[in-house]
Amino acid sequence: MGSSFEWVVFTVSAIGAVLAGVMVILRRNPIHSAMFLVLNFFFVAVIYLLLRNQFIAIVQVMVYAGAIMMLIVFTIMLISVEESRRSSPLKLTPVRVFGIVLSFLFLIELCGGLFLEMLPGRRGEFTPEKVASIGHVKTVGGLLMSRFIFPFELVSLVLLIGIIGAVILVKKER
C-alpha cells in the first residue's frame, strides 16, 4: 500500500485521464477532441511518474503530447475546417449501441483475465534500489546501447522511411 500522497495523485490523474478520454469521443469539434487528448496524455505521463519511470514520462510528453499532437492539430487545420461544421450530432444507431456493448464485454474480459492471474512473469534483475543507485535514465540508455542496440538502429531506419513516405505522399504532382 502506497502513501496517501501517492493515492491522491493516482486517483486524480486516473479520473482525469478517463474523463479526458471520454471527452475525446464526445466533443464534435475535432480540435476540442485533440486538446482533450493532450490532457489525457499529460495525465498518463503523471501515471508513469507514479510508476517511477521518469524517462518514459518525459518521452510521453515530448513525443505524444508534443510531436504527434502537433501533427494532428496541423492536419485538422489543413483539411477539416468546413468539415467540422457539417458533422451531424452523434446518433446512437443500433449498430453503435451493439459496438459499445461489445466494448464493455471486452473490458469485463480484460479485467477478468487480470484478476485470474496477477502478473505471472518472472522477476527481473532491476530492483528499485539498483535502479535508484544507477539512475533511471542512465539504466535505459545503457540497455539501449548494449542489449537493444540492433532494434535501436532499426527504429532510426523506420523513422527515416516514415519521413520519406510522408514527403512523397503529400508532394504535389507536376
89 binds another protein (CB under 8 A): no
Question: What does the radius of gyration of the chain's CA atoms come to, in whole angstroms?
Answer: 21
- Min dist CB 143 to another protein, Å, is 6
- Min dist CB 74 to another protein, Å, is 8
Out of 12, 132, 143, 149, the residue judged to bind another protein by CB under 8 A: 143
- Min dist CB 174 to another protein, Å, is 15
Question: 13 with 47: CB under 8 angstroms?
Answer: yes
- CA–CA separation, 170 vs 168, rounded Å? 6
Q: CA of 156: how far to CAs of 39, 73, 140, 149, in Å?
A: 28, 25, 17, 11
Out of 12, 144, 145, 149, the residue judged to bind another protein by CB under 8 A: 144
Q: All 3 cell numbers of residue 154? A: 532499426
Q: All 3 cell numbers of residue 124? A: 527481473
Q: 13 to 42, contacts with another protein by CB under 8 A? A: 14, 17-18, 21-22, 24-25, 30, 33-34, 37, 40-41
